[in-house]
Amino acid sequence: MGMSTPKMCARLLCAVLAGAAGTLHAQIPVQAPERFEEGIAAFEAEDYERSYDIFASVYVERPTHSRSAAALLMAGKSLYRLGRLQEARDFLSRMRHEWPGGVHVDEAEQVKAFADRRLRYREIVDDAFRLGIALPLSVADPTATQALFSGIYAAVMVYNRNSERRVQIVFRDTDRYADGARDAVNSLVAQDVDAIIGPLYSDDVAQVASLVNDAAIVTVAPMANAVDVTAGSRYIFQTNPTFEDRGRFIAREVTRRFEYGRLGVISEHTAGRNAELIKGFEYGARENGAEVVFHYRLESPSGWGRISTLVDPDTLRSLDALFLPVYDVNASQEGWKVRDALEDLAQMGDAPHILGTESWDDLELGTTVGQLRISFAEVFHVQRSKVGHRAFEHQFHNISNGRDPDRLAYVGFDVASFLLETLDSQGSVRAVSLRGGKFEGLGMRISFDAQRRNTALFFMDLTDRGGRLAR
């Protein structure tokens, strides 16, 4: 088998340095900074073979230079990411001897410790893909965790029936005490899991970000929806879209589907979730060539039922679509606000296309709907006609004492199925392979952007029979 050019360069350089005179050293061009940056780019692109070759060649240059120690560290980390654990620990062991007290010693020792733990664990396990699950057991509603876990378990059973390589579930409770999420994930890292689903909450995901980043383990947060969930680690992926991305999705859909150019917003609050929805909507409009030409802020909740008197009807009629980001932690209050707004707008006549949020799917609007064109974005929508749905329901009944799958069960099944589909096609689950594609699950869609946030939702039309998938 031929040797790649970078590998040949690294090995030839080692040979020259081992036996050549000092005069030869001076003939080697010193381009360490430029090549080190090339190595960093390859490492961040998860091309670990190339990054190792580059860092190794930078490290072996003599005399030593300002990048030598950092190159040794990054070469060792590249080997660790390639799964060449013994080579990684041997390489990193040089750090303490060559640069005692250096700034990279502690990090080198940490990566070496990760390699040692994985080597010890490999001695007692087979070649199964180890799927770590980090979920809380002692929450107020333990059936929620049970439903999510049962959905994951059902996906694993389907995969194991149809694949030669087995998937083994390793579960850890994140809710035992204050640092439960961190301890649970630390334990999963020690068990050499290949990927993790969880933790459940945004704060817990932030707590484990540095751990999964250091261990290079893809971690999918199934329910967390805070804006900065993925900021702490390039190995964390967020399947529950942020409210900002939900607003952006609505604007993108109406501008692309209907070529709308003039959009408006009416809101009561411009803080919290509502602010995120509005920010995303305005951004989505701009990036697709539309403009939010109108934003009216209601002074009180009663304003929702008086929009046609507070706002000039001609101004409303001049809009292609009107976004109503009505978000309230009190579902009943949110419901009557939406109903009041839609009943008022229906009486106005010639109202613009009304845009809403996912909670509208559960509203009972009666004849109001027929007088308005209403669409909304939905994160979750069960596609019962999809292949595999009936089999999932049957399997879920068997493993959950006859219960029907709820939303969390579908989320667990879809998230696990997405990861295992990647495993089946790639042979491993790597961060770079999760971005860009689109997965169509039984109840959710998954498509990660460059920030590793899911931006795939369902665009729904609201009818007198409830929400239906827009054509």
- pLDDT of 393-410, one tens digit each? 988 888 888 889 999 999
Tokens 């080597």 appear where? 119
**pLDDT given for residue 6 in this prediction:** 42
Q: What is the pTM of this model?
A: 0.75
**pLDDT given for residue 86 in this prediction:** 85
Strand extents, DSSP E, 233-300: 236-238, 262-267, 291-297
Domain 129-240+387-446 has CATH 3.40.50.2300: yes
Give dist(CA 67, CA 186) in Å, integer: 31
CATH, domain range 5-122:
1.25.40.10
For the stretch 88-137, pLDDT in tens is 888 898 898 888 888 999 999 989 988 887 777 665 556 788 899 999 88
Segments making up each domain of the chain, as ranges = 5-122, 129-240+387-446, 243-378
List all residues 6 or more positions away from 84 whose beta carbon is below 8 Å from its beta carbon: none
* Per-residue buried b or exposed e for 301-338, using 16+ beta carbons within 10 Å of the residue's own CB: eebbbebbeebeeeebeebbbbbbbbbbeeeeebbbbb
**pLDDT given for residue 19 in this prediction:** 36
For the chain, residues with pLDDT lower than 70 are 1-30, 62-63, 121-126, 138-141, 176-178, 329-330, 366-369, 424-428, 431-432
Give dist(CA 159, CA 421) in Å, integer: 9
List all residues 6 or more positions away from 433 whose beta carbon is below 8 Å from its beta carbon: 422, 426
For residue 199, cis peptide bond before it (omega within 30 degrees of 0): yes
Give dist(CA 167, CA 65) in Å, integer: 46
Q: What is the CATH superfamily name and number for domain 243-378?
A: Response regulator (3.40.50.2300)
The answer to whether 5-122 and 243-378 have equal CATH topology is: no
The answer to whether residues 428 and 194 touch, using CB atoms and an 8 Å cutoff, is: yes
Minimal CA–CA distance to 379: which of 393, 398, 397, 359? 359
**pLDDT given for residue 424 in this prediction:** 59
CA distances (Å), origin 172, targets 141, 265, 359:
18, 44, 32
